[in-house]
C-alpha cells in the first residue's frame, strides 16, 4: 500500500522500525518493554513488523567491564558477541507477554551488495514475516570489518526497508523530530514534513547521539530517510518515547514524503 502521510501508518501493512543504542541500553534498558508494547499492538492488528535494533556493543560493554565504547575492532566484536545474546534475550522475554516469537537476523553490508546473499536474506525475511515471526535485525558486528560495515544502523534500516519493500520506515532516537538546528540551541524549530526534493537548505545538523554508545546522528537519519523515501517508503523520524503514537498515525516527528513506487512482487520461497 502507499503510505503517503504519517496518518497512514496506522493501516500500513509492513513497517520497519529502527531503535538506537542509547534508547534501549544502559539506564534506558527499561524502554524495551514499552517499545515492545507498541510493536506488539501493530503486530496484533495484522501489520508485519521488522525491528532494526542497535545496542549489541553497548549491551555487552558492562559484561566486559567497559565504561566507554571500545575503539578497536576486536573489542567491539567481542562486546557485540556478548551483547547480541543478552539483547535478543531481553526482547524475547518482553515479547513473550504477547506470545510473539522473535527471529534474529544478522547482516553485513556485503550481504546486501552480493546478489546471491541479498536474495537469500530477502527470502528468509519474507518467510519469517509469513510465519508471523518478528525479525530483529542488527549489523553482524562480530564478523563485520571496517570495510564491510554499513556505518550505522539507520542506513541498515533503510536498506532493509528496500529489501523487503516495506510501506514505511520509522527511525527512533532520543529526539522527537528533525530540527532546523541542534535542538539544544536557541531558535531550533521542529520540521514537520520534508517534501520530495527538499534540500533542507539552512538546516544545521549536530553530531552523534549519546556519547559512548551511539554512532548515528541527525545527518545519518536524514540520509537514511532519503534513501528509503526514494525507494517508495514513507519515513518518520521521531523519539522512542513516541513510538506508539507514531505507529498509530498520530502527528509526531518529521515525515519524509515517499516517491511513488511500483507494487512489489513477493520473493520466491
Q: For the residues of the chain, what is the DSSP string, one character each? A: ----SGGGGGG-SEEEEEE-HHHHSGGGGGGHHHHHHHHHHHHHTT-EEEEEE--HHHHHGGGGT-SS---SHHHHHHHHHHHHHHHHHHHHHHHGGGT--EEEEEE-HHHHHSHHHHHHHHHHHHHHHHTT-EEEEEE-TTT--GGG--SSHHHHHHHHHHHTT-SEEEEEESSSSEESS-TTSTT--EE-EE-TT---TT-----BSSTTT---BHHHHHHHHHHHHHTT-EEEEEEGGGHHHHHTT-S-SEEEPPPP-PPP-PPP-
Is 114 annotated to bind a ligand? Reply is no
On whether 94 is known to bind a ligand per the annotation, the reply is no
- 54 among annotated binding-site residues: yes
198 carries a ligand binding annotation: no
Residue 241 marked as a ligand binder: no
C-alpha cell at 45: 492488528
For residue 181, say whether it is annotated as part of any ligand binding site: no
Which residues define the annotated binding site for substrate?
Answer: 54, 141, 153
Which residues define the annotated binding site?
Answer: 18, 54, 141, 153, 173-174
Which residues define the annotated binding site for ATP?
Answer: 18, 173-174
Amino acid at each position: 500500500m502507499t503510505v503517503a502521510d504519517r496518518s497512514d501508518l496506522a493501516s500500513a501493512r509492513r513497517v520497519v522500525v529502527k531503535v538506537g543504542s542509547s534508547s534501549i541500553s544502559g539506564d534506558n534498558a527499561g524502554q524495551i518493554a514499552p517499545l515492545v508494547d507498541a510493536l506488539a499492538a501493530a503486530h496484533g492488528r495484522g501489520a508485519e513488523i521488522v525491528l532494526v535494533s542497535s545496542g549489541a556493543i553497548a549491551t555487552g560493554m558492562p559484561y566486559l567491564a567497559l565504561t566507554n565504547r571500545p575503539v578497536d575492532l576486536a573489542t567491539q566484536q567481542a562486546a557485540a558477541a556478548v551483547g547480541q545474546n543478552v539483547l535478543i534475550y531481553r526482547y524475547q522475554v518482553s515479547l513473550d507477554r504477547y506470545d510473539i516469537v522473535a527471529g534474529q537476523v544478522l547482516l553485513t553490508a556485503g550481504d546486501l551488495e552480493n546478489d546471491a546473499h541479498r536474495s537469500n536474506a530477502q527470502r528468509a525475511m519474507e518467510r519469517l514475516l509469513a510465519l508471523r515471526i518478528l525479525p530483529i535485525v542488527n549489523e553482524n558486528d562480530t564478523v563485520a570489518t571496517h570495510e564491510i560495515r554499513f556505518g550505522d544502523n539507520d542506513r541498515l534500516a533503510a536498506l532493509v526497508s528496500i529489501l523487503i519493500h516495506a510501506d514505511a520506515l520509522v527511525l527512533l532516537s532520543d529526539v522527537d523530530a528533525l530540527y532546523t538546528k541542534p535542538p539544544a540551541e536557541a531558535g531550533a524549530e521542529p520540521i514537520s514534513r520534508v517534501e520530495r526534493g527538499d534540500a533542507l537548505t539552512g538546516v544545521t545538523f549536530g553530531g552523534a547521539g549519546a556519547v559512548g554508545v551511539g554512532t548515528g546522528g541527525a545527518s545519518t537519519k536524514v540520509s537514511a530517510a532519503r534513501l528509503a523515501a526514494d525507494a517508495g517508503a514513507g519515513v518518520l523520524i521521531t523519539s522512542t518515547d513516541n513510538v506508539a503514537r507514531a505507529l498509530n498515525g498520530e502527528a509526531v516527528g518529521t515525515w519524509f514524503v515517499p516517491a511513488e513506487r511500483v507494487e512489489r512482487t513477493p520473493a520466491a520461497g
